[in-house]
Amino acid sequence: MIVAVFIADSRQELVFQYLVSSDLPGYKSLRNRIQTMAPTLAAEPQAGKASVGRSMEVYKHVSPNGLAFWCATKPGPTTPGAKHPGVGHPAEPLVFLQTLETLLLHYFDKDQLSVAKIRNNYDRVTMLVYSMLDAGEPANVDLGRLQEMVPLRRDLAKVVNATASSLGKRLTQGDSHALFALPNVQGVSLPTEKSVPWRTAGLVFADNELYVDATETVNAVFRRSTHGARDRTRCVSAFLEGTIDFNSHLTGDPTVLVRLDLSGHKLAVPALHRCVDTQGTDFHASRLRFVPPDGKFRLMRYVVDLTPGTAPASHQHSRALANLGLVVPELQSALGANRDEFEVTLDIAPSTTVSAVDNVQVALHFPQLPSGARVKALRTTHGRFENSVDNRDALWLLDKTTSTGTRPVLRACIENSADDTTTTTTTATTLRVSYAHKGLLPSGIKVDAVDIVAGLPSTIKPFKGVKYLVKTGDFVLR
């Protein structure tokens, strides 16, 4: 069972804390335990778990902007007949932390959570976490229900102000019989009977809008192998994580049909929002029919496996590379007259739909270097090169936007101290590439149509928009 939830910034300073019981250790005490018993988990900006006591485990999830979501768990009450008494599914805490981040993003209508947003809404975040858990177990993760239980500050203010104004008028008019009647608040939905549990009843919007955000995260591991005098890059593992998010503001209870072009991919078992109608033998992931919740929600999550040899025949190595996006890294070593130089190249493919790639970065990791040695950049065609204090890590930062159809190159070497005349042939052992762009999904999946087939008056013509976004997850060359 989950007994504590924490959010910390990139410097490991506490931003938010929720304890089920006051006798539980706080973040500072728990952080000291983690740094002692699991230093790697504390230092690395990645998800994981660790045991910090006889009956306590901690789980960590890291957001793209560096916020660390932590939760502490203890064995819960024993369930009769359970295979592992008092212990739930081992992935449940991590899934809860990921869900918490997604819900907060949708609740506050943000692309990224900031420290200021969480601290300025500490009470709201506390009530949301409280509402999500029941006896330490994740119970309520429906955004619509959570927004009803914990309304946004502006919605709650509307209700309070309208109620105060209505009571004041009735007291002035001497209408004691209607003193405690509910006010008619324009733009605020009062509880009425619902046709579907995930949608607020009786919604009316002046501007009817429907926005679709299709996002794919590229995860790939490349291996460098030497053939003759040249190093070659080969993909050994790759998959795409896709999401389709909606932001719906539609009057009434409309039925929406989304038609997807899957570009020949078989999505196996995608994760769907409970609003999707999966009944009937004609259901297919390319045709999704549903009554949408109001506001933001995640309609679909899917995975496309591109690993050569495990994917279907149509997704073998050449197809995998074609679906890995626009950027492929290369690393050449043992270059130069003394064979002490190395070169990093990014092959950014040309595209008719994407003009530029945004925020390209290459993080380089080196083995332990000789004392006094340092990594020195000899030539960069794009951006700038930054070295770390310990000389084990470096960062190649390209420009804010890099045009497609280009090949940025970094040439560097390991420079020894002045009194060391030996030649160092060490090169980077790991390259970690990150970038983002809009306009084209690597898989080729796209939204063909978004049709409202029922439930919306014919006089209402909603505005519809579709946006595609690509970003990297674990994109590594070893």
Backbone dihedral angles phi then psi of residue 439, each to the nearest 5 degrees: 110, -10
Mean pLDDT over residues 437-448, rounded? 93
User: Which pLDDT band, with edges at 50, 70 and 90, does 313 fall under?
Assistant: very low
Positive/negative CA dihedral, 449, 454, 455, 457 = positive
**Beta-strand pair 463-477/209-227:** parallel
Per-residue pLDDT at 180 exceeds 60:
no
Per-residue pLDDT at 50 exceeds 50:
yes
What pLDDT does residue 324 have?
Answer: 85
Per-residue pLDDT at 16 exceeds 90:
yes
- DSSP E strands in 291-429: the ranges are 295-305, 327-335, 341-348, 356-365, 374-380, 384-387, 393-397, 401-403, 409-415
What pLDDT does residue 292 have?
Answer: 94
What pLDDT does residue 159 have?
Answer: 53
Alpha carbon of 111 to those of 59, 179, 240, 357, 442: distances in Å? 24, 43, 20, 19, 21
User: Which pLDDT band, with edges at 50, 70 and 90, does 167 fall under?
Assistant: low
What pLDDT does residue 462 have?
Answer: 94
Domains defined for the chain, CATH in brackets = 2-149 (3.30.450.60), 209-323+440-477 (2.60.40.1170), 327-438 (2.60.40.1170)
Mean pLDDT over residues 404-409, rounded? 96
Per-residue pLDDT at 371 exceeds 50:
yes
What pLDDT does residue 170 have?
Answer: 60
Asked if 39 and 29 count as a contact pair (C-beta separation under 8 A), the reply is no
Among 79-93, 95-109, 288-302, name the one with the lowest average pLDDT: 79-93
Q: What percent of the chain has pLDDT over 70?
A: 81
In angstroms, the CA 364 to CA 448 distance is 40
Among 148-157, 201-210, 298-307, name the one with the lowest average pLDDT: 148-157
Q: Please state at what angle helix 92-108 crosses helix 122-132, rounded to 10 degrees.
A: 140
3-state secondary structure 113-133: CCHHHHHHCHHHHHHHHHHHE
- In tens, the pLDDT along 231-271 reads 567 888 899 999 999 999 999 899 999 999 999 988 878 99
Burial class of residue 136 (count of CB atoms within 10 Å of its CB; 0-12, 13-18, 19+): middle
- In tens, the pLDDT along 411-433 reads 998 887 666 666 666 677 889 99
Per-residue pLDDT at 192 exceeds 60:
no
Q: What percent of the chain has pLDDT over 90?
A: 45
What pLDDT does residue 208 have?
Answer: 94
> Where do we find the tokens 């918490």?
100
Better-scored residue on pLDDT, 100 or 388: 100
- Mean pLDDT, all residues of the chain: 83
What pLDDT does residue 374 have?
Answer: 81
Can you give the length of the chain in residues? Answer: 478
Better-scored residue on pLDDT, 271 or 156: 271
What pLDDT does residue 373 have?
Answer: 76
Which tokens sit at 212? Answer: 């679709």
Better-scored residue on pLDDT, 104 or 155: 104
What pLDDT does residue 148 have?
Answer: 80
Of 147-151, 166-170, 183-187, highest mean pLDDT:
147-151
In sequence order, what DSSP letters do the residues of 195-209 get, joined into one string? SSTTS-TT---SS-E
